[in-house]
Amino acid sequence: MVFLMYMGIANWGGLLILQKVVGTQFETPSFLYFCGVALVVFSTRRIVDQRRERIKRVAAERHAYAVSTRDPLTQLPNRRQFQSEVSAALKSSNNIMSILLLGLDHFRKLNEVYGHLGCDEALVQIGSRIRDCAKSGDIVARIGDDEFALCLPGADPETAHRVACSLVETVKKPVQIGIEHHSIGASVGITQAGRGHMTVDELLRCAHVALSRARNTHTECCFFDPKMDAHVRERSLLEKDLRAAIGGYDIRPYYQPIVDLKTRRIVSFESLARWHHPMNGLVTPDTFLPIAEELGLINVLSGQLFGDACRDAATWPEYISLSFNFSPTQFSDRNFAQDVLTILSDTGLPAHRLEAEITESALVADFEATRHAIQTLRNSGVRIVIDDFGTGYSGLSHLYELRFDKLKIDKRFIKELGKSTESDVFLRAIFGLCKGLDLCITAEGIENDAQADAAFRHGAHQGQGFLFSEAVPASAVSQLLAGSLPAQRIAVA
Ligand code: C2E
Ligand code: CA
Ligand code: CA
């Protein structure tokens, strides 16, 4: 209204100026008529413009809201919206509810095969199937690239499990990508909410732990269990510590002697990794090597250990060799053999003083790459040892196809020596085979004289075990070689 009055006065002012300029006096009724028409035209235009602006603003706000709360691909609520809806549901009800987290299996591989567009097609179909599985009141969302979350208010564990299983079945049905049909597996982690004061983030974290467990154990659905959580926390701490330990060179090679069973003289040392953990003390490799492998740090760690071991071994007497354990992953790497030879030359350890230990699992993992690495190393003078023989899955044909220099019989067979006919029969067969192939045999895990004698009688050339010595730090090697550790058992070569 004020605006209209202002415009009226402005119009009147304008008219007075016009009168002055033109020099004509307008009559009062025409002036008023003129003012009225101008006012009506002007205010109508303003009203129309304002309405248009309001409609535009509402549409823009709606769009911004949709973008911030919906997944643009599947049109399902996104993580943010899921969090706000579940959080509201948690506040408004004391009833139990189940949170389900569904993860698609091998999604990254699917991306590699079909590309982003193909994956998008698959996700749209899967998203719509998951939405169809939900009943009214359930909250369904896509909360990650390959993750969907559901909140089922009022659902007890039994119902949640039933829904989870039917979700997996539904998702598994083939999706159409272009002209192809592809089946995508899924796993579900389930957690219960309602009792206690957990936030949505905490609930999702628990469901995530359960999902990882489902994936690792190849069970389609898995419930969260607090013990699982403790394990995950412990493990993530260990991962953090391990990264720091590798960065700080806190994992060092220790050396266990291998002796000639006839003379009881040391012929070589096997490098065994030991981690000086600030809280847990000396940690053995079975604890940290699988984690280093999973974290993709095994090559870095092994490179450090191998470099250290070669430098140490270069200071030992000429006739003492170094045995080093290489992981199956390393043997699958095309540059592996060349890297080993480079480190040997950098550290000054001659190739003929190195024994590369390889387990049967490397042969199963990537036979061709392993064969190539073995050939390159052998051609340079490195001896190849097959470790833990009898515990893996490789066939005897591998012994025939690949040239090894030495075979180590696993400690579990040595323990059984003379105790069971089966293990004696097995060992006799292996010893016979090795003799025929002209392979040196080392018996592992010798803990007493009886085992050392029995292994020798069966035909083992060398022995390794606590009877002779445990693995010792580099600084104690010279004492072992001097015969002062552990006294009588070992003679100096
Ligand atoms: P392995 O190559 O079979 O090494 C022998 C294992 O048997 C060592 O365990 C050693 O301490 C243990 N041992 C030796 N003598 C006896 C005995 O008389 N009785 C018993 N019960 N055990 C004995 P450790 O040091 O815990 O190593 C476990 C495995 O970890 C090794 O088995 C090897 O496969 C792997 N490993 C160790 N160091 C490295 C490394 O630097 N790189 C890689 N890739 N693997 C390593
Ligand atoms: Ca070994
Ligand atoms: Ca072994």
CATH number for position 453 = 3.20.20.450
How many of the other CB atoms lie within 10 Å of CB of 418?
Answer: 14
CB 313 within 8 A of CB 320: yes
User: In this structure, which residue's CA is closest to atom 20 in ligand 1?
Assistant: 445
Which residue has the CA at smallest separation from atom 4 of ligand 1?
272
Q: How far is the CA of 447 from the centre of ligand 3 (A)?
A: 14
What is the model's pLDDT at position 24?
56
CB-CB neighbours of 384 under 10 Å:
19
Same domain, 258 and 401: yes
Decide: 367 in ligand 1 pocket, CB within 6 A: no
Q: How far is the CA of 391 from the centre of ligand 1 (A)?
A: 14
- Expressed as residue numbers, the domain containing 165 is 79-224
- Spell out the long-range contacts of 32-41 with Cβ–Cβ below 8 A and sequence spacing 24 or more: 35/8, 35/11, 38/7, 38/11, 39/4, 39/7, 39/8, 39/11
Same domain, 86 and 52: no
286 lines ligand 1 (CB under 6 A): yes
Question: Which residues hold their Cβ within 5 A of ligand 3, which is an ion?
Answer: 387-388, 444
Within a domain: 272? yes
Residue nearest to atom 46 of ligand 1 (CA): 325
For residue 227, give the 3-state DSSP assignment: helix
Atom 17 of ligand 1: nearest residue by CA position:
445
CATH number reported for the structural domain that contains residue 217 in this entry: 3.30.70.270
Judged by its nearest atom, the ligand closest to the C-alpha of residue 286 is 1
Taking the CA of 445 as reference, the closest ligand is: 1
Per-residue pLDDT of the chain (493 residues; tens, 9 = 90+): 445 455 555 555 555 555 665 555 656 666 677 667 778 888 888 888 888 888 888 777 777 777 789 999 999 999 999 999 999 988 887 788 999 999 999 888 888 888 999 999 999 999 999 999 999 999 999 999 999 999 999 999 999 999 999 999 999 999 999 888 999 999 999 999 876 678 999 999 999 999 999 998 888 999 998 887 787 778 888 899 999 999 999 999 999 999 999 999 999 999 999 998 888 888 889 999 999 998 999 999 999 999 999 999 999 999 999 999 999 889 888 899 999 999 999 999 999 999 999 988 777 778 888 999 999 999 999 999 999 887 766 567 777 788 899 999 999 888 888 777 877 888 888 888 888 888 999 999 999 999 999 999 989 999 999 999 999 999 999 999 988 545 445 544 4
Give the domain-ending residue among 11, 43, 69.
69
Asked if 82 contacts 139 with a C-beta cutoff of 8 angstroms, the reply is yes
In a domain, 126, yes or no: yes
Among all chains, which residue has been given the structure tokens 């069973």? Answer: 261
**Residue 289 Cβ < 6 Å to ligand 1:** yes
**How distant is the alpha carbon of residue 290 from its chain centre?**
11
434 with 399, same domain: the answer is yes
Is 384's C-beta closer than 6 angstroms to any atom of ligand 1?
Answer: no
Q: How far apart are alpha carbons 452 and 454 in whole angstroms?
A: 6
Judge if 172 and 57 occupy the same domain.
no
Distance CA(133)–CA(145), nearest Å, equals: 20
Residues 31 and 150 in one domain: no
Residue 445 near ligand 1, beta carbon < 6 Å:
yes
CA-to-CA distance for 430 and 458, rounded, in angstroms?
10
Q: Strand, coil or helix: what is 338?
A: helix
Question: Is the CB of 337 inside a 6 Å radius of any atom of ligand 1?
Answer: no
Judgement on whether residues 147 and 265 belong to the same structural domain of the protein: no
pLDDT at 26: 56
CB of 272 within 6 A of ligand 1: the answer is: yes
- DSSP helix/strand/coil, 446: coil
Contact 327 CB / ligand 1 (< 6 Å): yes
Q: Is the CB of 451 under 6 A from ligand 1?
A: no
Q: Would you say the CB of residue 305 lies under 6 angstroms from ligand 1?
A: yes
The answer to the question of residue 230 being in a domain is no
Does residue 492 sit within a domain? no
- Please check whether residues 402 and 431 belong to one and the same domain: yes
| DSSP string for 143-210 | EETTEEEEEEET--HHHHHHHHHHHHHHHHS-EEETTEEE---EEEEEEEESSS---HHHHHHHHHHH
Measured in Å, residue 444 CA sits from the centre of ligand 2 at 9
Q: Could you tell me if residue 235 is inside a domain?
A: no
Q: Evaluate whether residue 232 is within a structural domain.
A: no
Q: CA-to-CA distance for 455 and 457, rounded, in angstroms?
A: 5
Closest C-alpha among 141, 120, 124 to residue 70: 141
Ligand 2 centroid, distance to 323 Cα (angstroms): 8
Same domain flag for 326 and 450: yes
**Closest C-alpha residue for ligand 1 atom 7:** 445
Per-residue pLDDT at 39: 82
Task: Give yes or no for residue 284 CB within 6 A of ligand 1.
Answer: yes
pLDDT at 67: 74
**Residue 418 included in any domain:** yes
* pLDDT score recorded for residue 228: 78
Counting ligands in written order, the one closest to the CA of 489 is 1
- Nearest C-alpha to atom 34 of ligand 1 is from which residue? 325
Residue 108 lies in a domain: yes
The Cα 139–Cα 76 span in angstroms is 10
Residue 329 CB–ligand 1 contact under 6 Å: no
Question: Is the Cβ–Cβ distance between 194 and 163 less than 8 Å?
Answer: no
- CB of 83 shorter than 6 A to ligand 1: no
What's the total number of domains in the chain?
A: 3
Is residue 179 located within the same domain as residue 297? Answer: no
State whether 352 and 405 are in the same domain.
yes
Do both 51 and 99 map to the same domain? no
Calpha distance 158→138 (Å, rounded): 16
Q: Tell me which of 190, 224, 258 is where a domain ends.
A: 224
| Closest CA relative to residue 80, chosen from 68, 65, 66, 88 | 68
What is the predicted pLDDT for the residue at 376? 96
pTM above 0.75, yes or no: no
Are 84 and 184 in a shared domain?
yes
Atom number in ligand 1 closest to CA 253? 41
Indicate the residue among 14, 37, 69 that finishes a domain.
69
> Among 275, 305, 325, 489, which is best to mutate for testing ligand 1, by the most ligand atoms less than 8 A from CB?
325
**Residue 120 CA to ligand 3 centre (angstroms):** 48
